[in-house]
Homo-oligomer: A and B are copies of this chain.
Amino acid sequence: MPTATIEKWDFFEASFEGPATGNPFLEISFEAVFSQANRKIRVPGFYDGEGTYRVRFMPDAEGEWTWRTSSTTQALDGKEGSFTVSAPSPGNHGPVSVSNRFHFAYADGTPYFPFGTTCYAWTHQPLGMQQETLATLKQARFNKIRMGVFPKDYPFNENEPLKDIYTRDTEGRLDFDRPNPAAFRHFESQILRLRDMGIEADVIVFHPYDRWGYADMTAEQDFRYVAYLAARLGAFRNVWWSLANEYDFLLDTKPMSQWDRYFHILEENEAAPHLKSIHNGDQTMNFDHRKAWVSHVCIQNWDVKRTPEWREQYGKPVVNDEPEYEGNIWPSWGNITAEELTHRFWVTVMRGGYAGHGETYADPDDLIWWAKGGKLHGEAWKRIGFLRDILEEDVKNGLTPMGRNDTWPWSRISGARDGGVTYIYFGEHQPNQWTTGLPKDDGNYEVDLIDTWNMTVTPAKRIPPLVPHPTRHGAVVRGGKADAAFGVELPGKPYLAVRVRTI
């Protein structure tokens, strides 16, 4: 067998012919062990239909690797081979994982700041529209997308999916013991297209919005489905697992222990760890993100000034994927102004978290970005790209918010730091000058005024620091002296930020 060469963090795939009769999904167990010197990694294989079995592996180290399969089925047992892993090509930074407790980085150390969007069912739309979605993503600056495996049945989402996720029996009924490999292959091909655009696929495993029966599979069927996903997608470096969109609306049929079990099955079946979280519906129903199998906080919450609270509560990166969406449809999670969504992104990021985008403008044909992809019609996405550019220009380790939720003045305005860069975001506040949080020494600083809506960065006018009249607050006297070496003059309008960089 010729030795293949793949690059680090790409995936190696081997396929085999095996039994096609009976129900191979249930009856055939098959895995491989991948080895490099003494290191051994067990990787489950999967049935890809028509007698074909595959196993996929993402190597995380360069050099020679060997593999050997094992199965109770003779045709799939004892197969072996080897391959070579080369250095990653430019643009391949490896999978993303948690870094610096509240942040993320690629495996090669490059910081990763999630600026995600949401197209729940884009892979279930007509192929032309899927092409359009990819073309739009190419122009936007999103580096993550929330997308479901299953199709969606919901207002504005009444069309049939391109492919069933399970196969149909002779009477046309979905057989939830037989995944449809063609549907998974298509889903995978779109994940790989995203990968090549530098976009993480935040794969939503379950959701309640269903008319086909996917939300009502038995626990055993769910467990097999999750293991099948892990075997198929676990070797893709840009896959994140979102166990659910709005898991709490499924608690009547899938109890909490079952949700934990899904996480465990992923852990058991992944050759390489992926980021894992789960998204709530009701604002009071955050999952317990402290559990060890949850890598980061994924929430839906419009009250974005609470971001530091969630950081403290869970001690993990906070991704607020649904701080409401820009649009004008009737559901009230989907009709805030572009100004407000841009503002919520800035507040979230400047309090040490990450936010997610969605766009929900009414369309005569119900072609709405948030569910189907296609075109963007709004204004926030450009400002979100601008914010990403701002961050990537200077931030290395991730932003640490100034103060915490209830510390003056940082409960009212937002500010954050990383190394030599400080940002202060004023939002709905419009002070005519500012001092607090600016440098305390007379070092060399570059001070800029950022207009978050008009996307401009201009040098800020420095002024002498403010020396407030001293006032007593309990045992503390505030004021009487400046709390920074200089101040900045501000033009008295909302949605501004100040950036200070050490030269």
Majority SS at the chain A contact face: loop
Q: Is the CB of B409 within 8 A of A153?
A: no
Indicate which residue in B208, B210, B428, B472 contacts A210 across the interface (CB closer than 8 Å). Answer: B472
Give the number of times this chain occurs in the complex, counting copies: 2
* A469: chain B residues within 8 A (beta carbon): 153-158
Q: Is the CB of A429 within 8 A of B332?
A: yes
| A298 → chain B closest CB, angstroms | 18
Closest to A476 in B: B249
* A282: chain B residues within 8 A (beta carbon): 406, 408
Q: Is the CB of B431 within 8 A of A332?
A: yes
The interface-forming segment of A170-178, A221-229, A333-341, A445-453 is A333-341
Q: List which A234-276 residues lie within 8 A (CB) of chain B.
A: 246, 248-252
Indicate which residue in B303, B335, B468 contacts A431 across the interface (CB closer than 8 Å). Answer: B335
Given A283-B411, A305-B303, A337-B428, do A434 and B474 touch, yes or no (CB 8 Å)?
Answer: no
A134: Cβ under 8 A from any B Cβ? no
* Chain A 295-310: CB-based contact to B (< 8 A → 1; otherwise 0): 0000000110100000
A89: Cβ under 8 A from any B Cβ? no
Q: Is the CB of B492 within 8 A of A430?
A: no
A362: Cβ under 8 A from any B Cβ? yes
The interface-forming segment of A71-79, A191-199, A322-330 is A322-330
Given A428-B337, A471-B209, do A332 and B413 touch, yes or no (CB 8 Å)?
Answer: yes
| A480 → chain B closest CB, angstroms | 10
Cα–Cα distance between A472 and B153 once the two chains are bound (Å): 9
* A430: chain B residues within 8 A (beta carbon): 328, 335-337
Closest to A215 in B: B472
A139: Cβ under 8 A from any B Cβ? no
* A109: chain B residues within 8 A (beta carbon): none
Cα–Cα distance between A404 and B225 once the two chains are bound (Å): 38
Q: Is the CB of B492 within 8 A of A328?
A: yes
* A406: chain B residues within 8 A (beta carbon): 282-284
* Chain A 141-173: CB-based contact to B (< 8 A → 1; otherwise 0): 000000000000111111000000000000000
Closest to A412 in B: B332
| A334 → chain B closest CB, angstroms | 8
| A247 → chain B closest CB, angstroms | 10
A494: Cβ under 8 A from any B Cβ? yes
Closest to A469 in B: B155
Cα–Cα distance between A373 and B329 once the two chains are bound (Å): 44
A435: Cβ under 8 A from any B Cβ? yes
Indicate which residue in B210, B248, B330 contacts A435 across the interface (CB closer than 8 Å). Answer: B330
Indicate which residue in B158, B251, B409, B473 contacts A208 across the interface (CB closer than 8 Å). Answer: B473
Question: In this complex, which of A252, A412, A433, A472 has the most chain B Cβ atoms within 10 angstroms of its Cβ?
Answer: A472
Question: In this complex, which of A408, A426, A435 has the most chain B Cβ atoms within 10 angstroms of its Cβ?
Answer: A408
* Chain A 478-503: CB-based contact to B (< 8 A → 1; otherwise 0): 01000000000000101000000000
* A209: chain B residues within 8 A (beta carbon): 471-472
Given A282-B406, A406-B282, A411-B283, do A431 and B328 touch, yes or no (CB 8 Å)?
Answer: yes
A sample of 26 inter-chain contacts (CB < 8 A) reads: A153-B469, A154-B471, A155-B479, A156-B469, A158-B469, A208-B474, A246-B473, A251-B474, A281-B473, A282-B406, A283-B406, A324-B412, A328-B431, A328-B492, A329-B431, A330-B432, A330-B433, A330-B468, A332-B409, A332-B412, A333-B409, A335-B430, A335-B432, A336-B430, A337-B430, A337-B494
